[in-house]
């Protein structure tokens, strides 16, 4: 197995080129047409793969069969960017104003492409590997879109696997955890409608900013007063949009929520309380309100058997000291959770060392882990399809 790591480290320059190209040209969730074309073209250049595009709009599945084995493994990477202005000054920084790869999805895709090339060259397995390149992870749209487009009916797999880089965890180490690993997320938008007017004549207005501010503060009591301290949940209001001038009372305000929970009971309670607080707080200020609910969230649950199998393969490839098992869980969310509802499998973290956390304007993907992640995918495929 160590040969895999050494060989991929020797060929890391190509993975860096793929990564830097995608980093320069980010595209938002479900708008990744150029990125999808780049990935598909690169895969076809390796030879041997059956490459299918347009799955769930921009998704790709590349399949390679070797020998007569009947087992099928699925490996998934994401490739959408975020609506954040990058504040790094790298030569390969984003060239698109207000959009950047600040979660490492460009790195995830580069790693799976590196593994794809290696698997096509060596073909040291017996069965079928399916490489799943998924759009729209950040908005929780891409996974469901591919599934609804017949992902697992058209491209059957026995098990499916995912991976994410995590700053703050030790560089190059893998973290596996059976069971609940990441939270369910519900992304909601709330519109508060009042009556606009002159800032100096407030008695003729109904101020949605005041109503929205009250809602923001009231929402903070939900987790602290209603979720058991032994459980985990968080409600973040990441955007409060209203007005453009200091002397004008806006006619409406928009609040955007990220609601994360780890049990179905807490999730239903939190969502119900948000609906109640929004409606009654808005009404108490004379405003009306409207909630636009996103795709229902799901807790990411790793299959115990597949997690153990993947961890053991990683230990054999990298050494026991490079694998933390069981590892931590996070309140971040992943729409890979929807794939794990359909097929057994597991999701792991790959430590990227010190640095800003994902979604920070100064986050950067540690390119040193590119060959490490690619080696894991190769080792997992060869171990699973032995």
Spatial separation of the C-alpha atoms in residues 345 and 302, rounded to whole Å: 6
Question: Torsions phi, psi of 56, nearest 5?
Answer: 65, 35
pLDDT at 367: 97
Contact residues for 352 (Cβ-Cβ < 8 A; gap 6+): 104, 165, 166, 167, 169, 171, 365, 366, 369
* Mean pLDDT score, 143-164: 98
Tens digit of each residue's pLDDT (9 = 90 or more) over 49-76: 999 999 999 999 999 999 999 999 999 9
Q: Among this protein's residues, is 137 annotated catalytic? A: yes
181, containing H or E segment = strand 179-182
pLDDT band at 89 (very low <50, low <70, confident <90, very high): very high
Least confident of 125-129, 133-137, 261-265, 301-305: 261-265
**Domains in the chain, start-ordered, CATH in brackets?**
2-182+299-384 (3.40.630.10), 184-293 (3.30.70.360)
Of 189, 191, 255, residue with least CA distance to 217: 255
Q: Give the whole-number percent of the chain exceeding pLDDT 90.
A: 96
* Mean of the per-residue pLDDT values of the chain: 96
Tens digit of each residue's pLDDT (9 = 90 or more) over 332-358: 999 999 999 999 999 999 999 999 999
Q: Give the whole-number percent of the chain exceeding pLDDT 70.
A: 99
Spatial separation of the C-alpha atoms in residues 273 and 288, rounded to whole Å: 17
| 112 to 5, 31, 371, 375: CA distances (angstroms) | 14, 21, 10, 9
Burial of residue 295 (CB within 10 Å: 0-12, 13-18, 19+) is: middle
- Residue of 78, 137, 138, 266 marked catalytic: 137
DSSP string over 257-282: EEEEESSHHHHHHHHHHHHHHHHHHH
pLDDT at 6: 84
- Kindly report the pTM of this predicted structure: 0.92
pLDDT at 7: 85
Contact call for residues 186 and 267 (beta carbons, < 8 A):
yes
pLDDT at 149 over 60: yes
Tens digit of each residue's pLDDT (9 = 90 or more) over 288-311: 999 999 888 899 999 999 999 999
* Mean pLDDT score, 78-89: 98
* Mean pLDDT score, 358-381: 97
pLDDT at 2: 67
- Residue of 27, 32, 78, 80 marked catalytic: 80
Spatial separation of the C-alpha atoms in residues 301 and 283, rounded to whole Å: 39
Other C-beta atoms closer than 10 Å to the C-beta of 360 total 14
pLDDT band at 9 (very low <50, low <70, confident <90, very high): confident
pLDDT at 335: 95
DSSP state for residue 296 in the 8-state scheme: P
pLDDT band at 260 (very low <50, low <70, confident <90, very high): very high
pLDDT at 1: 52
Tens digit of each residue's pLDDT (9 = 90 or more) over 10-32: 889 999 999 999 999 999 999 99
Q: What is the 3-state secondary structure (H, E, C) of 41-85?
A: HHHHHHCCCEEEEEECCCEEEEEEEECCCCCEEEEEEECCEECCC
């Amino acid at each position: 197995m160590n040969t895999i790591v050494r060989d991929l480290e020797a060929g890391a320059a190509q993975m860096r080129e793929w990564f830097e190209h995608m980093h320069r040209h980010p595209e938002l969730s479900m708008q990744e047409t150029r990125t999808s074309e780049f990935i598909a073209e690169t895969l076809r250049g390796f030879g041997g793969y059956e490459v299918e595009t347009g799955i769930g709009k921009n998704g790709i599945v590349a399949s390679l069969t070797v020998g007569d084995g009947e087992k099928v493994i699925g490996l998934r990477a994401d490739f959408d960017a975020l609506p954040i202005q990058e504040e790094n000054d790298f030569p390969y920084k984003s060239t698109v104003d207000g959009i950047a790869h600040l979660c490492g999805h460009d790195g995830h895709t580069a790693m799976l492409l590196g593994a794809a090339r290696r698997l096509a060259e060596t073909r040291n397995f017996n069965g079928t590997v399916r490489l799943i390149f998924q759009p729209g992870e950040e908005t929780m749209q891409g996974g469901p879109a591919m599934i609804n487009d017949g992902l697992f009916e058209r491209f059957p797999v026995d098990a499916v696997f995912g991976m994410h880089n995590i700053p703050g965890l030790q560089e190059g180490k893998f973290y596996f955890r059976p069971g609940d690993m990441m939270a369910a997320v519900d992304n909601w938008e709330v519109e508060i409608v009042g009556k606009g007017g002159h800032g100096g004549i407030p008695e003729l207005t109904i101020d949605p900013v005041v109503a929205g501010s009250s809602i923001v503060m009231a929402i903070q009591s939900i987790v602290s007063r209603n979720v058991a301290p032994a459980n985990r949940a968080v409600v973040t209001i990441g955007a409060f949009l209203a007005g453009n001038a200091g002397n004008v009372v806006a006619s409406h305000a928009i609040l955007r929520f990220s609601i994360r929970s780890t049990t179905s009971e807490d999730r239903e309670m939190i969502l119900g309380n948000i609906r109640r607080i929004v409606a009654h707080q808005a009404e108490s200020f004379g405003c009306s309100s409207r909630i636009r609910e996103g795709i229902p969230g799901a807790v990411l649950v790793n299959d115990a058997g597949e997690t153990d199998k993947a961890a053991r393969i990683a230990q054999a490839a990298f050494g026991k000291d490079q694998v933390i098992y069981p590892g931590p869980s996070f309140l971040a969310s992943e729409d890979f959770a929807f794939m794990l509802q359909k097929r057994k499998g597991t999701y792991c973290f790959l430590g990227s060392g010190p640095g800003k956390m994902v979604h920070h304007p100064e986050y950067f993907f540690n390119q040193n882990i590119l060959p490490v992640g690619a080696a894991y995918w190769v080792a997992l495929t060869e171990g699973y399809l032995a």
